Chains A and B, each alone.
Chain A
């Protein structure tokens, strides 16, 4: 039988506010353990939470960008469970009246566009960090509360995803949108973007859902995809052998590449949600929503359409460029100075991104500012340097941080367009390679390329290629 997967994702996003959600401690990542704490986030007796206004603002931005219906009235609830990373043994979250519901985003997998529903967006607080230490007497755990109380958004999708690849595309798209909104660092390796996946399988064409499992703590795009692949295979194998999938909470073991059961349905938690009496409800009126809507930046889908329509970029290029707000901003700045959009996109998608990735940098951190890339392209266009030299210069610019013109001048890389000088070299090359000349004259077109190469070699790549071509052809 053929099966299809049904996947829904619960994504947790740490918001990049200055202060925590309910107290005034810094949210800065890192720091010595337990140095970003106060009585409130330590949950000491007697303390009270007060919500940080910007948490709600960021939540609203995100909800609107995800096309959600914002609640006019929402409240905070307590989710009660015992765990040592949770100092109060309850998490302030939102239960039956979340910030927003009913949105969507679009993904593109293998050229197919799909709309993925978003069930809800709600605000909550993060927990602390546990480190487990082995020792002969069974070991112990250490708790660091620096992350405790950092604001989170939980974004829950509808079970609309049908493959691990779609799940990954959804997650990547969500990250892109969050980066455009500038509400989160979205660093999966630092835990500022995390994901749990609900997954079930069913015979293809069936309308009913199979029994689902929840796979927890997928901390990279790769582990999301691989854990889902594994879990789907596991569930299909159970069904194929006539078994039944047990409802359970699973964890992904990155090192062994398997999912394993953390908790079965029988052990399901009873969170005893109830309205947090220490926090008052939020009323979000139309004026507030409108203000946030007006402040939204251009979002990736709109920007992608703009690049296609205004610059005539191919959809593929526009997709790559707008997959990061940073890259798209960089693109816009280069194009403003050097309006040949396709050439810019070729350079960005090629050498520029290769060099950035090698150095593990974001476009905004690039040692080559957009103005300098534009001037490099200009030098190539006006014939001052060749395309090949331009690539060398870009590498040099990355390495040294110097400007394009400065490097070209310092290293004497100006293209040789002096016809008399080039003619001399061309004639030397022809004289030195009589057999190749013979080949060309006998119709072997490729021989020309070899001769061009020899001229370039003799000029250390500085010869103007079109001039070399013309001079060679004139003499052949």
Chain B
């Protein structure tokens, strides 16, 4: 049995029936990582010892007759911008290359309580800024479907690890599409929950009003299970909503008859690869076959989301990243005086894309430009939000491509920041509106995965999961695994 090809809930069932032990599964995963990660390069830090210890604890609990839950003992891994006590958390930046947090992120706490076995920390674009994981200060991660292509970003490591069978599930973070776009590129399920659904405490901030942590999984059932563990109110996060968390797995019911799905035409505009559009349209036809009522609609301010995002996100980032100054933690590059120390540290600690966004954001907030840049973008944000509010008076869910293209080649867009930014065209508006969205495998183009994005009403992840589950039950795309040249 190829343990690494299973889903989290399948492994969870084996563990519960005690057909395998958590230690066996963990060892198998560690071996799998040994075999494939040299090529995929998803991991920045591996915590094998800790993982085995966690696995032993779960086995011991089961031996005592306890039921620690379906995800207990199932090996997983974390994007390296989620703080882990005692384990370095680098954000793929030289700035934090040696930084060991003295605390756990709320999601990490929750996972540990659920018996998670944490294999390590995953590569990403530095400080989550990028769409290809090429902005990692350490090395790029490869797309398991084609090692010459990017896995997408910024949660490239989180997604590649799941696609390559190096973890049953992972957590990523999504500020402008950083879970969904790579999930689409690597043929896995990725969800950005509603803003406020999952605590951000311990997620190293990129853009605070947009960031949200979410699951990356092999199928929709796993997505529902993981979301159930990490979601819920956290008194340590002022923006965490005190909204009840349903039992997501119980809401997975492959019946979408009569469900109204809107297809916003702006998401099929210029820049979309014809074959990607075909695959996505066929997926929408499938939803119709399953009984959903699909109808073309319009979100007229869609084209303004990207420029507004690239003012709001860098502005927040410029302030969030001011703390990396060589004083309290992280890298310090000495200077003659304190200002020079700041400048040396920040110039050498940050990579080019991070510096570019800090520059852009500082400019957008600076005196004389605030109204024209930042305030204008916040107003446009209102218009984007209203578009969605209008659409959701008529539709239960909206369906779009996750990305206008399939995974591009390493280096292909590295020299052109604007071209790179455009690859998040379909995901950014959802962050601007704070809504939940899921990307799921819906077919292939040029042998590479294509993702279908479903967008839901605020806090209605359950409906998204139900539609995604219905589609998944009727298709086989989620079962395909990349070859990777190994068994």
Interface residues of A (CB under 8 A from B): 39, 42-51, 78, 80, 82, 84, 87-90, 141, 143, 270, 272-274, 277-280
Contact = CB atoms under 8 A, between A and B. Distances in A.
A46 B325 contact: no
Contacts of B362: 272
A88 B238 contact: no
Contact of B238 (A45, A49, A78, A87): A49
A80 B204 contact: no
Contacts of A43: 323, 328
B327 A45 contact: no
Interface string B316-340: 1011001101011110000000110
Contacts of A78: 319
16 contacts: A39-B102, A44-B102, A45-B89, A45-B96, A45-B101, A45-B205, A46-B83, A46-B205, A47-B201, A50-B236, A82-B325, A87-B327, A87-B328, A89-B323, A277-B316, A280-B238
Interface stretch (B110-118, B282-290, B364-372, B396-404): B364-372
A80 B203 contact: no
Given A46-B101, A48-B201, A272-B362, A279 B238 contact: yes
Contacts of B339: 82
A46 B318 CA distance: 15
Contacts of B205: 45-46, 278
Contacts of A89: 322-323, 325
Most buried by A among B81, B236, B237: B236
Nearest to A80: B319
Most buried by B among A46, A89, A270: A46
B103 interface: yes
A90 B322 contact: yes
Interface in B185-212: 200-205, 207-209
9 tightest A-B CB contacts, nearest first: A89-B322, A277-B209, A277-B208, A272-B365, A45-B204, A46-B202, A46-B83, A270-B367, A46-B204
B444 interface: no
B235 interface: yes
B328 A274 contact: no
B309 interface: no
B99 interface: yes
Contacts of B327: 84, 87, 143
B45 interface: no
B200 to A, nearest CB: 6
B319 A90 contact: yes
Nearest to A23: B236
B417 to A, nearest CB: 22
Given A90-B322, A278-B239, A46 B367 contact: no
B374 interface: yes
Given A39-B101, A45-B99, A279-B238, 11 more contacts: A44-B101, A44-B328, A46-B105, A46-B205, A47-B201, A48-B236, A80-B318, A80-B319, A82-B342, A277-B239, A278-B239
B315 interface: yes
Contacts of B89: 45-46
A46 B238 contact: no
A88 B205 CA distance: 12
A197 B298 CA distance: 56
Contact of B366 (A44, A45, A272): A272
A19 to B, nearest CB: 13
Given A82-B342, A272-B365, A51 B238 contact: yes
B23 interface: no
A87 B207 CA distance: 18
Most buried by B among A42, A47, A50, A280: A47
A81 to B, nearest CB: 9
Contacts of B96: 45
Contact of B365 (A46, A51, A80): A80
Contacts of B200: 48
A364 to B, nearest CB: 36
A274 B102 contact: no
A141 B322 CA distance: 20
Interface in B349-400: 362, 365-367, 370, 374
B385 to A, nearest CB: 15
A46 B239 contact: no
Interface string B55-90: 000000000000000000000000001110000010
Contacts of B83: 44-46
A89 B323 CA distance: 6
B367 A278 contact: no
A274 B238 contact: no
Contacts of B318: 80, 272
Contacts of B29: none
A461 B386 CA distance: 90
Nearest to B202: A46
B339 to A, nearest CB: 8
A46 B208 CA distance: 10
B329 A274 contact: no
B91 interface: yes
A290 B365 CA distance: 38
A143 B96 CA distance: 21
Contacts of B204: 45-46
A89 B339 CA distance: 13
B45 to A, nearest CB: 15
B363 to A, nearest CB: 10
Contacts of B365: 80, 272-274
A180 to B, nearest CB: 32
A49 B315 CA distance: 19
Given A48-B236, A277-B208, A80 B322 contact: yes
A50 B319 CA distance: 18
B203 A274 contact: no
Contacts of A84: 325, 327, 338
Nearest to A270: B367
Given A44-B102, A46-B105, A278 B319 contact: no
